[in-house]
Structure 1
């Protein structure tokens, strides 16, 4: 986690932002905390997308699809505001490294770990596909490793 920089938001919706977890083509992801103390991951889209109505419609559909999944192998959507001046979504925080970071830090994983990750990923995709959805962003940086 990186500290918040000047100009970055300190809150979004009902969540206090604690630091930046990462960034991608669509936006930045922050570690946040609810008033009740729950740790969350808050994705805030890049501001230039906020004025694109086609993007907003797609983001709204993706949030609604993600809300439907909520399986044991996926992070649940807890809150979102696709109509905010800068759209955002909050999900349950998954404590652990991404698969790409684990591989970079430790090299190839033991066979048992590879099998467990493959089984978990398959279960997550079965839940997604079972709802008639397609996950279009499966990649090592989006696969989180936890106990």
Structure 2
């Protein structure tokens, strides 16, 4: 096996594996935790040949729902067809595993959220190039019949050669889970289109709306609709006038 090109301890940008974290999933060796979100945890992992990948493992409560598993398999199949220059390619998945997982190309760079949080608004030319790259990513995603549904600063990674959009389409599978069955929505209110926040079907236009909010965030350092700290809101609490205040 190839030795990972990192020291024995994970760099400060990563989190060390806890005793509860697995050490291997689907033949991939887990090295560190990259983060966690509404659907599960994301790990830095390695193929047997030493290639780094980002491996997302869904939360147990999602894995126990058959409708979620069915939709997750459908979304992964659709995501495999996306080959955009500015997207993180899906390379493997375990949709039938006890705990479903998804592996994508590892992007060695911070998220747009991390960059703006640390350095503030981006220069105008940088924002223009960023917008062009993300728009091209959305074009590839929509051409494959997929809607991202959760385009936000944390889902845009900045590599040396431009942005990479991650987690495209997978959020749709969560709509079938018990957590969302009681009227809760998974997403980021500060970047969510009104129709999606109200529980209506998401379309490519939903992503275009999120792109506008994303570019506003990059240029100004703040979301046009507030900080949107609550990642889950009840549909009954979301009205068009209220959404503008999120």
TM-score, normalisation: structure 2: 0.59
Whether the aligned pair in 1 keeps the contact of 2:88 and 2:107 (CA below 8 Å) is yes
1:98 is displaced (CA, Å) by: 0.5
In structure 2, the partner of 1:29 is 42
Q: Does 1:139 align with 2:152?
A: yes
Matched residues in 2 for 1:38 and 1:76: separation? 14
Q: Which runs of 5+ in 1 are unaligned?
A: none
In structure 1, the partner of 2:3 is none
Whether the aligned pair in 1 keeps the contact of 2:44 and 2:55 (CA below 8 Å) is yes
Measured on the aligned residues, the alpha-carbon RMSD in Å equals 0.8
Q: Which runs of 5+ in 2 are unaligned?
A: 1-13, 161-246
Matched residues in 2 for 1:24 and 1:58: separation? 18
In structure 2, the partner of 1:6 is 19
Identify which of 43, 55, 73 aligns with 1:42. Answer: 55
Matched residues in 2 for 1:96 and 1:60: separation? 28
1:103 is displaced (CA, Å) by: 0.4
Aligned pairs (5 A) from 1:65-144:
65-144=78-157
Matched residues in 2 for 1:63 and 1:3: separation? 28
1:106 is displaced (CA, Å) by: 0.7
SS at match of 2:81: helix
1:140 is displaced (CA, Å) by: 0.6
SS at match of 1:29: strand
Whose strand proportion is higher, 1 or 2?
A: 1
Matched residues in 1 for 2:159 and 2:20: separation? 32
1:137 is displaced (CA, Å) by: 1.3
Matched residues in 1 for 2:144 and 2:61: separation? 31
Tell me which structure has the larger Cα radius of gyration.
2
Matched residues in 1 for 2:147 and 2:61: separation? 26
The runs of at least 4 aligned residues of structure 1 exceeding 2 Å deviation read none
How many residues of Structure 1 are paired with residues of Structure 2 in the alignment?
147
Matched residues in 2 for 1:87 and 1:131: separation? 22
1:132 is displaced (CA, Å) by: 2.3
1:114 is displaced (CA, Å) by: 0.7
Whether the aligned pair in 1 keeps the contact of 2:40 and 2:56 (CA below 8 Å) is yes
TM-score, normalisation: structure 1: 0.97
